[in-house]
Each structure stands twice: as structure tokens, then as C-alpha cells.
Chains A and B, each alone.
Chain A
Amino acid sequence: MSDAPPDGALTRMARWAATVGRIPRLVFGSLLVAAIFGAVINLTMPGSRASTVVGIFDTSFVESTLRIAVPIVFAGLGGIFAEKSGVINIGLEGLLIISAFTAVAVTHLLGGDAQSTVWIGLFAGVLASTLLALVFAVLVIEFKADQIIAGLAVWLVGLGLAPFLSIVIWGNVNSASIATLNTVTVPGLAEIPVVGPILFDASPIVILMLVTILVSWFVLNRTSFGRWIEASGENPSSLDTAGIDVHRVRYIGVVLSGVLSGLGGAGLVVGRTGRFIGGGQTMINGDGFIAITTYLFGNYNPIGTAAAGILFAGLEALQIRLQQIPFIPAPTELIRLVPYVAVIIVLAFVGYTRIPSEVGEHYESGEE
């Protein structure tokens, strides 16, 4: 975010790499190391246990990771817009749940298997979570509600409504199955080893996710609006005296978190699972809270946040695969807990993240 004077291309790349943040560098660095390590094992000790473990990490693992990452990354990006503008949205989980459920419900009620129906369902899901986010925004900005409590309310509303409506419609907390979106294949490009199947033969939701990461980065760092968001969270009076409506900026930030979470929740069902599981913590299972951790970890930078989100998704994908390997000594129930423990560990080390100064504070024009 600095306006450094332009110079040579290499220097510019190095500077860009620096702005992208320490997390992506960490992640990509470790991935590189791991890849090399894995390649070495596969070459030197084929057929061994070690190479079985290494063999987990194939293309389908990456595809799996990206699909699991959808709700986490989308919600995380949405959370950046909200919290950077000064409103902490704890209720991302509820938004994910509502959008997932609505997408399935609408698709089911419209009936049929057509792809267009699925897209409509997706749109309906996004609409639902956006509306809920708008309610949250009004509560918090207009009515000065405590942001944490209001966020908890959004979460519990989603957590309560979805299974209830599910039973009303299907007689069960789990829904019936619906069709999912077909993958988009780019002929030719899809043949490229490694990258091809991941990027060019993927679910449209995953592609949308990758695009959104880049667009978010652009909006936050290269547009005026991005600066208004930052000012709104750091020193709203500076924005106010500059003639920009702080409330409006915050509304947009929160609504964006609703839209993006909607894409995450609805995207999960129409892109991957094809049904809504409402038991326990629902299929969303804490992704909304993991998302908050990702942007704290990524320091409100979309690239870093997405990288952290993909990391957690990777742990989840890993956990699923490890369960199938017979010689892993740990019991499956405990392996399943790995991502959650990881979140706690990350939070413990990341607690010093600099939060925008005015997060959680209500702002009123004219208050000095």
C-alpha cells in the first residue's frame, strides 16, 4: 500500500512479493520444500510407507483442497471487507449456513436437474446471506448493537433456522440431493501436467474463488474505495471530514461480506456436496470461524488470507485421506480434530495482529 516510485522490473517484482505478505511466502516456500522432499522420497523409496503418505498429495488432493477451501476463503475475503471498515462480523458462520441451505432448498423446490436451476439456487443462496448480512449491518450501524453479540445472533439464527426449515421441507435435518454444477473444461489447456487439471478442468466455483481473490486484492489496494475502507476502520472521522459517508462505506463492507459468504456457502453445496447436512454444527462445521482466523493470520491481505484458508482446507483434506491409510497409528476421531487444533495454535501465535484501530466502535458524525 505504499506509493513507492517506480523502478526496474525485478525490483518491482520483489516489492510486490513483499506486499503480498509473509504468509503466502511461508506457504509457497514450504510447499516448494515439501514438493521437493516428496519427489525425492518417491524416487528413492517407491512402494514404501513413506511414499504412500507422499502419494496422498496428488492432483486430486489439490482439487479436493480447493473445493473444501471455497467456504473458508470466500468467507475470509468477505470478513476482510467488513472488519477492515470497522465492523467485526463474527456471524460469518451463520451466513454460510443460510446460503448453503437456501441454495439447496430453492434448487430442490424448483425441481429438475437443469444446470440453470442450480445457478438460480446459487443466486438465491447468495441473496439469502446478503439479506441476513444487511440485517446485521442495520443492527450494528444504525442501532449501535454490540458487534460481537449481533454476530453471535446471526450465527445462532442460521444455526437454528436451517435445520428447522430443513425438517419442515424434507422431514430431516439433512436435505435431499440436488444436482451440482458441472466442471468447466478448457480443452488443450487442461492437458498441462499438474496445473492443467486443477485450473482448467475445475468447478466454476473454484475458478470464481480464484478470481475473487485477485479482484479483492485490487479493490482493497488499488482503488479509492479500498482506501475509504481502510480509513473507515482506522480513523472514521478522517473520512467523515473528507465528505465521505462512513456509514455507507461500512454498510457496503458488511454487505460484501454477506455476498462473498453467500458464494462460499452456496458454492459449497452446488459445487461439491449437492446436499445440505444440518446435523450437529451443520456441514459448515466452523468454517466461518476458521475464516476469521485466516484473515487475522493473513493480516487483512486477501492473498495472505486466501493462502491461510487453503492451508486449513489442505489440513482438512489431509485428515480425510489419512483416515484411509491403515497404518496411521492415530484414531480417526482424533485425526478429524487436527484442523481445529491448528486454528487454535495459529491464533495463539498470531494474536499480535494489528487490528484496525476503530473495530467494534460505533461511529457517529459530529462526535468529536
Chain B
Amino acid sequence: MSESQYPDPIRRFLRLFVGNSVVERILISVAALVTAVVVSSLIVLVAGYLSGEAYNPLEIFAVLVNGAFGSPFDLDSARLITEGWSPINFSMGTTLKETTLLIFAGLAVAVAFRGDLFNIGVQGQLVLGGLAAALALVWVAPFVPSGLVGTVLLIPFGLFVGAVVGGLYGAIPGALKAYADANEVITTIMLNTIATGSAFFLVSAYFADPTLQSVKTRPIPDFARLNGIVFPQGGQFSLVALALALLATVGIYYLLRYTSFGYDLRVSGKQAKAALYGGANAERMVVSTMTLSGALGGIAGAMWSMMVIGAWRQGVPSIGFDGITVSVLAGNNPIGVIPASLLFGVLKGGSNAINFQLGVPPELVAVLRGMIILFIAMPEAFRMLGNRLGVKPDPAATAGGGSDE
């Protein structure tokens, strides 16, 4: 199949798939996403058939997306827009809440990935970061005046504690990798379990709220929490948190692109030998990268405690693993983490809707999560597809000197 068979505009459009790196990556992410949705739909169809329920994948995804935004589109009646819908609603709040947490988790994973490190331990880092933040706030709050002054002091303090604890917990697998050459995928996964178990133990044994039966800390005082502004109270979402998340994204982008440390990190991630040649200290690079990554995870955990629950309790949702999906979808680029988090936030925000309205288990999102990574893992497949359709990369882009034999 040769290229000339396609009309020019299509050819130029297809050529975007191969060669141009940023556009290419976005297209690959989108393609992976679409494929993941299609395959998951097939699975849902088959599962439904096997279990005697009739699931309609189109309906499911429509309700999912719609529900994430609070059902702006009225799917049942003839009207297009639901009466009385406003963007400020409970579901939208949920979606944005998920998005905010995912941004931090995604940034955590992305930072590590850029340094060629696989931090699968964000879950553990956020569990411990969240617990530390909750406990610290409960302990310190009585000494601080309530009201706006207290809020301004305590919110950064809580986030800071979360970052420190998360960072330390991230430094452990970092040091193990740097000095003992221990595979960080396995150590971080083990540390996840250890974190969850230890946190459970610490709270149930020492820090539990005596008025409750469950494994939960005392509540964080109201003024030390990230409360809903603009969005309805009880919606567990604070616009301030989202603003902080966006700020963090810009900060990480700046760090990677415009600082010496960021340069060293990126070079270490691409070619460790070149980084050493350029003067980087390999061990310190690994530890600091994992610490930074852990700190971001810790902040995600602190936000969860402060914004969503108002305390720390056992059964922390799997934000850490979703962060991996987000980062992979975003091509490990901090700026990309924002749309990727929004996307995944929509999926999670809408999962309540599909549960209530259609009886579809919200665990569908976990299926999608795996599928997305599966299809992102094969950029080459899409490139090969592009090649087979007859589209060759722009010759200038890959002009090489002849091979040196």
C-alpha cells in the first residue's frame, strides 16, 4: 500500500501519527484510550451475557460521562439539557475531587518515571502521608487560633507533614535501589502492604477515635480542613485544593525543564552513564527522585485526609494505582497529567452514576485502568499500523548520517 493512494489532507493527518513526538504521543494516548474503552465494552457485554444481565456498553459510557458532570444531558427525556443543571453540583464536585487527588498521584509517578524509576508505592506513601497529616493536625490544632488565621497556618502545615512522611517513605525504596541495587518495583509493592498494615495497626492500637467502633482517627477540626468553597459542602471537594494541584503541576514542570536538578533527573532517566559523565551522583539522584515522588504521594494522602474524609480511616481508595494510569496516559509529562487526571476523574466520578442508575459495578473503572495501560504499552503497534497503512515518517525527521559499520 503506498502513500500516494490517499488524498493529501488525509495523508498529512495520518503523518501526524508518525514522527512528530508530542502530537504523536497525544494521539497514541487517545488511541489507547479508545481501544481500551472498546475492549472493556466487549468484556462488559460478555460478562453481562454470562451472568444473565443485559448490559449496553454505549448506555454505560453515556451514563458514566454524563453522571460525572452531574447529568447535564438529560438522557431519559426529549430535552437536551437537564432542567436546573448547573456546573456547580455534587457529582461535578466528586469528579473534580478525584481529579485533584489524581493530579498529585500522577505527578508522583511521572516524576519517578522521568528518572527511569518505577514508583509503584505511591499508595503506601499516600496512606502514611495521610495518616501523618491527620494525626499532626489533630495534635497541633488546639494550639492554634481557629478561624481564618488557623486555616492559613494549618493547611500548609498538614500538607507539609504529608509531604515529609511520604517523602521519607519514598526514600526507603530509593536508598535500597541506590545502594543495594534492589528492584524498586518489588520493594515499593511490598512497602504498600507494609504501610497499610502498619497504619491499621497504629490507628487501631493508639490513635483511634474512642467514640467510634471503626479504625479511624479523631476528626480534624473544621478550620484545618480543606472545605468546600463554591462547591456544596459535604461534596468533599475544595477549589483551593484544585488550585494547589495546578500550581504543583506547573512547579514540577518548571523543575524538570528549567533547573539543574531537573536536568540531572531527566538525563539520569534517559542514560544513566551520561548523567554520571555530566557530573551527577547516581545514588543521590535515585534517592532524591524517589523522595520527591514520595512527597507528592504524601500530599495526595494528606489531601484525602483533609479534604475528603476529615480524618484518616482504614480502607484508603486505590488512588496510588490510578496515578500510574494517569502518568502513563500523560506520557509522563507533568502538563499532560492535568487532562489525564481529568479524564480519569471523570471515569471515577461517573462510576457512582453507573452504579446507582444501571447497577453496573463501579469496579469497571479498575478494568479500564488495566486496559488503558495495556494499550499504552504498545505505541509501536500504532506506529506499525500507521506504517502498514502506507504512511511513512517525514524523511527530514529521521535523516541520519549513514550507519557506521
Contact = CB atoms under 8 A, between A and B. Distances in A.
Interface string A186-226: 00000000000000000000000000000000000000000
A349 B198 contact: no
B180 A349 contact: yes
Q: Is the interface of A mostly helix, strand, loop or mixed?
A: helix
A109 B186 contact: no
Interface stretch (B141-149, B188-196, B220-228, B265-273): B188-196
Nearest to A349: B180
B47 A168 contact: yes
Interface in B318-365: 321, 324-325, 328, 361, 363-365
A292 B367 contact: no
Nearest to B182: A347
A368 B405 CA distance: 9
Contacts of A158: 370
Interface stretch (A14-22, A255-263, A264-272, A333-341): A333-341
Interface string B109-120: 000000000101
Contact of A139 (B48, B370, B377, B384): B377
10 contacts: A146-B377, A152-B185, A157-B373, A160-B368, A161-B370, A168-B48, A331-B205, A340-B194, A341-B190, A344-B187
Interface string A110-144: 00000000000000000000000001000100011
A129 to B, nearest CB: 15
B247 interface: no
B48 A159 contact: no
A154 B376 CA distance: 12
Interface string B374-405: 10111111001000000000000000000001
B177 to A, nearest CB: 8
B201 A344 contact: no
Interface in A294-346: 296, 331, 333-334, 336-337, 340-341, 343-344
Contact of B194 (A154, A157, A341, A351): A341
B53 A168 contact: yes
Contact of B180 (A155, A169, A348, A368): A348
B259 interface: no
B176 A164 contact: no
A43 to B, nearest CB: 37
B193 A351 contact: no
A125 B324 CA distance: 28
A165 interface: yes
A183 interface: no
A164 B328 contact: no
A169 B52 CA distance: 9
A347 B186 contact: yes
A333 B201 CA distance: 6
B186 A164 contact: no
Contacts, number: 146
Given A333-B197, A349-B180, A351-B181, A152 B373 contact: yes
Nearest to B191: A344
A139 B378 contact: yes
A251 interface: no
Contacts of A157: 367, 370-371, 373-374
A156 interface: yes
Contact of A153 (B183, B186, B374, B405): B374
A152 B379 CA distance: 16
Interface in B154-177: 176
Contacts of A154: 374
B313 interface: no
Q: Is the interface of B mostly helix, strand, loop or mixed?
A: helix
A352 B179 CA distance: 11
B201 A150 contact: no
- Chain B CB within 10 A, most for which of A143, A157, A159, A160: A160
B134 to A, nearest CB: 19
Interface residues of A, number: 52
B380 A347 contact: no
Contacts of B365: 160
Contact of B200 (A90, A333, A352): A333
B293 to A, nearest CB: 16
A161 B43 contact: yes
A343 B373 contact: no
B193 A340 contact: yes
A135 B197 CA distance: 34
Contacts of A60: none
Given A149-B376, A336-B197, A348-B180, A289 B190 contact: yes
Interface string A168-183: 1100010000000000
Contacts of A289: 185-186, 189-190
B369 interface: yes
A90 B118 CA distance: 12
A347 B181 CA distance: 8
Given A173-B363, A281-B193, 20 more contacts: A149-B328, A150-B374, A153-B370, A153-B374, A153-B377, A154-B374, A157-B374, A160-B368, A160-B369, A161-B370, A163-B366, A164-B367, A165-B47, A168-B50, A168-B53, A169-B50, A286-B193, A341-B190, A344-B187, A347-B183
A150 B371 CA distance: 10
A65 interface: no
A99 interface: no
Contacts of B198: 333-334, 337
A112 to B, nearest CB: 18
B211 interface: no
Nearest to A170: B51
Given A168-B361, A281-B193, A334-B197, A143 B53 contact: no
B381 A143 contact: yes
Contact of A337 (B43, B120, B197, B361): B197
Interface in B189-219: 189-191, 193-194, 197-198, 200-201, 204-205
B194 A149 contact: no
A156 B363 contact: no
Interface in B292-338: 321, 324-325, 328
Interface in A342-368: 343-344, 347-352, 368
